[in-house]
Structure 1
Amino acid sequence: MASEPALEPAPQDYPARVLAPGQVVDQFRIEEHLHQGGMAQVWRVSRLDRPDDPMPLVMKVPRIMGGEDPASIVGFEVEQMIMPLLKGLHVPAFVARGDFTQAPYIVMERIDGPSLRPRLDAAPLPVAEVVDIGIRVATALHDLHRQHLVHLDVKPSNIMFRRQPDGTLAEAVLVDFGLSRHDQLPDLLDEEFTLPMGTGPYISPEQVQFVRNDPRSDLFALGVMLYHLLTGERPFGHPTSVSGLRRRLYEEPEPPRALRPDCPPWLQELILRCLEVRAERRHPSAAQLALDLQHPQQVALTERAQRVRTSGTWATLRRRFAAVGAEPAGTRGAAEQAQRNPIVVAALDVENAPAALLDMLRDTVRRFLHDGGSTRLACVSVMKTARIGMDELTDAQGRSRHVKQLVALKHWARPLARELGLGDGRLTFHVLEAPDAAEAIVEFAQRNQVDHVIMGARGASALRRYLGSVSSQVVAQSSCTVTVVRAPAE
């Protein structure tokens, strides 16, 4: 246990804590009961020491009534350790916690939007909604993985959404970290229990084999969710035993297109990739999955995309024999996995940059990609459009300017693709139409969880010093690393 055993009684000796509106726990007043779960109850609370603080709050209190599942007690301890370390829009803001020796609780921000759970009852959902959910959740997961956390209990009831001022839904928020693992904290669940931890339909194959430090486990759970939201069926049913969980080590799910004929092949490709038994066959990071969901036309299709039936009894038997005694390939931790598989943007002015600068950019990208991992390279060019008035969409010869820039991007990247073997969706091309090139690049980088932008800068001039160059604006506004390559003297 995280706390000192000598200082607290055994869990079964705790009296049941009966809360009611109007009670005060430390500096918080109990206002309203919101939810009763199997392991905890949730109350709306107000803060007495900061009555003017506008943040709405909830208090999560564990069920400690004697005879409770010990894992729920340990899980609450885990959540108390993890939540203070998490920041950002994709988690509830942590406010306070109460120790088990007095009154165990966690006070956190109340998320004003709904959970994803009701949409599960409405499945199958429109394809566009399934894709939108996938993008939002994958983006949230990548943020958690970069903070050293593997959630390990990704499911609709643990996903909520923030609301924008106009009432529309915004960022996905992950809640309930009782089964999670943090790279920098002791894994109490792994130390104290010998059964797979998670929710039956969503547990990944490696979790069944007691591996708890692979962030790609969360991608498996997201794949299960997307499959269910798309088809109305669970890919592996609802197992309630370890033997039932182990079936996913060798049994294939029915292809989504067999249940939902209007499922696009690219979406089946991504969902079945998430559901691969071997974690190394899934996307290397949640950010790369989110990028594919946002750019379906660039998804590299394999035989997964064309399946309309499972591969049959004999293939299942072969996989079953292969699974006996098989050990999953391990990973060193969530943050390292995300860092080893970054998204890199090469931002090019393919129409105006001198050839020498384009060559230098290619050499810089080549050196970066030689570092290994499964880096995703996104080649980006901005097609300038008018803020007011009509845009010229064709050149003097009547050719599409958009297609012309796309072809130029591919021509620039061809030596890199050939030399570094950038296949299987690791190389994508994006022509952004926008009046402001710097703004478009920064927005693309933020929306797609980009780790590194590599771009060029031409020689200095009085006009550039006065207006500010595109590269200087990107450096100033980006939240990721930006490398600027200077062109030779002109």
Structure 2
Amino acid sequence: MARSKIQPGAVIDGYTIGDRVHIGGMATLWSASHPGIEVPLLMKVPRVSEGEDPAAIVSLEMEQMILPRLSGPHVPACFGVGDFTREAYVVIERIPGQTLYQRLPDLPLPCEEASMIAAKIAAALADLHRQNVIHHDIKPSSIMFRPSGEAVLIDFGLSHHNHLPDLLQEEFHLPFGTAPYTAPERLLGVRDDPRSDLFSLGVLLYFFTTGVRPFGETETMRGMRRRLWRDPHPPRKLKSDYPPWLQEVVLRCLEIEPVWRYPTASQLAFELAYPNQIKLTARSERTKRDPLSTVWRRRFNRGLTQPKPKSDVAAHLASSPIVAVALDTAQESASLNEALRVTAARILATLPSARLACVNVLKLGRITIDRTLDEEGQNKHVDRLVALKHWASPLKLDENRLTVHVLEAVDPAAAILDFVEVNHVDHIVIGARQNSLKRALLGSVSAKVASEAACTVTVVRPPRLASLHEPQRANGNPGELSA
């Protein structure tokens, strides 16, 4: 590769180079502009001087392959890449503001604020993993936030794409990354498990709520390998008032074995959005690390010291969806609710890692003042929560896989669609109503959900109507059913 020509004022492939913004360990960032592009730009150039780490070149190659394939609000838009035979670079959108690294002097943050930040990062990771990419360098300096609030992940030089060559894996034998945030399996050469990013996010959440990194600052391989068998001190040992629900989340993310962590980033984001429904286990109350007997068993368990079989990111995510069932708790809906339960049971039987969210909408009047109590003096909201749990009880789901939600809204369909979008629901099951004049004039909730939801929708009819109405394909996503 030729010597770099990057300097202020230079024009390369139509991009005018501005000021130098940042010098990192593997690359230098320059501001840039292009007559055909209105948004502010950054040009990232690898450090290739004498004595520089050769991984810098491979890292930029990975970014050149991965970034053009990514889309959405959680990644910077990519506008161009430069040929290594002339000038190697990648041009991306310049996100306004600073990285999360700037918050380090403020640590520890209030638990509510830190968990909100973590929820946004988890949502960004969920979107990234759906695009077959594992970031592998989640840390404060790799995270920014758009003015609209979404977390943006940057620096994809160490990432793994499920459908592209992994040049870092092929050319180097060391686990590149930031030592305090590196997942245990990364030390064994495993780069294709999306739960590695959840471990890193767990480290960040621990650090932001306690002010202490769970595994210290060590950079030596020997020190890093200890996390293959040694768990961190529980946050409640450091802060006696640490919320049990938050410790449950943090320690689950930091489990040594990936299988004990959250199955997906979507499920982690869902937990953080509803902390009052997190099912507490022994993790939540711990104040001591695992006993030495457990540590020694891990230390000499040869299974932990061998690389795991390759996983398929898409298959893993598909086996761990968030499934929502929209229910009407009225007595006259009993037959339909039974049909919904049968359908949900069939779906969950094939997806042992799926999470089920039972949703009911308490419809509010547009003009009238709504009463919180029914005719018998019972709280409507509480009654419906109880009814949802009663509906789900025959499914015999583990408590970690079930949540119930009563939404209060004027427009039930809009409330369900908003719940689906905010919580990254993968599949919604909803009941169809019988034909009526009101439905003909105003349209049904199920029809609106089926036509507008950005996920798979299954519309279920009561058994007595099944023979009269054959389900039809809805316009939109394949596999949806119309109401």
- Cα distance, 1:34 vs structure 2: 1.5
User: Would the aligned equivalents of 2:76 and 2:92 in 1 still touch at CA under 8 Å?
Assistant: yes
Say if 1:225 and 1:306 are closer, same or farther in 2 by CA, change over 3 A: same
- Where in structure 2 are there 5+ consecutive unaligned residues? 469-483
Match of 2:76 in 1: 92
Name the residue aligned to 1:154.
138
Amino acid at match of 1:303: A
Mapping 1:370-385, distance limit 5 Å: 370-385=349-364
Q: 1:358 aligns with which of 337, 340, 362?
A: 337
Q: Distance in 2 between matches of 1:359 and 1:433?
A: 24
Amino acid at match of 2:453: S
1:296-352 Cα shifts (integer Å, max 9, x gaps): 121111111011122344443333223676335445232221111000000111126
Say whether residues 1:137 and 2:121 are aligned partners: yes
Name 1:19's counterpart in structure 2.
7
Q: CA deviation at 1:387?
A: 3.7
Q: Match for 1:34 among 9, 18, 21?
A: 21
Kindly provide the CA deviation profile for residues 239-272 of structure 1, in whole angstroms up to 9, marking residues without a partner as x.
Answer: 2121111000111211111112222101001100
Residue 390 of structure 2 corresponds to residue 411 of structure 1 = yes
Please give the secondary structure, in 2, of the residue aligned with 1:272.
helix
Structure 1 residue 482 corresponds to structure 2 residue 460:
no
> Which stretch shows the higher mean deviation, 370-379 or 338-347?
370-379
Matched, 1:279 2:258: yes
Scaled by the length of structure 2, the TM-score of the pair is: 0.93
Aligned to 2:56: 72
User: Matched residues in 2 for 1:217 and 1:395: separation?
Assistant: 48
- 1:434 correspondence with 2:409: yes
SS in structure 1 of the partner of residue 400 of structure 2: coil
Aligned residue in 1 for 2:438: 463
Instruction: Mark the runs of 5 or more structure 1 residues left unpaired by the alignment.
Output: 1-8, 165-169
CA-based RMSD: 1.6
Aligned pairs for 1:164-243 (under 5 A) are 164=148, 170-243=149-222
Residue 238 of structure 2 corresponds to: 259
- SS of the residue corresponding to residue 474 of structure 1 reads helix
Greater alpha carbon shift after TM alignment, 312-321 vs 343-352: 312-321
Which deviates the most, 180-189 or 460-469?
A: 460-469
Q: Aligned partners of 2:176 and 2:188: how far apart in 1?
A: 11
- In structure 1, what residue type is equivalent to 2:443? G
- The amino acid of 1:391's aligned partner reads D
Matched AA of 1:445: V
For 2:6 and 2:351, how far apart are their aligned partners in 1? Answer: 56
Residues 126-176 of structure 1: CA distance to partner in whole angstroms, max 9, x if unpaired?
111111011100000010101000111111100110003xxxxx1001111
> Does structure 2 conserve the Cα–Cα contact (< 8 Å) formed by 1:250 and 1:323?
no
Query: Is 2:425 aligned against 1:450?
Result: yes
- For 1:120, give the aligned amino acid: L
Q: Secondary structure at the match of 2:438?
A: helix
- Give the Cα separation in 1 of the matches to 2:136 and 2:433: 47
Judge conservation of contact 2:195–2:263 (CA < 8 Å) in 1: yes
Q: What is the DSSP-based 3-state SS (H/G/I as helix, E as strand, rest coil) of the residue aligned with 1:409?
A: helix
Q: Which residue of 1 aligns with 2:273?
A: 294
Matched with 2:475 is: none
Deviations 1:55-97 (A, max 9, x none): 2211111111122111111011011000011111110111111
**Aligned residue in 2 for 1:167:** none
Partner of 1:482, secondary structure, is: strand
How many pairs were matched up?
A: 465
> Cα–Cα, structure 1 residues 242 and 455, in superposed 2: closer, same or farther, change >3 Å?
same
**In structure 1, what residue type is equivalent to 2:48?**
I
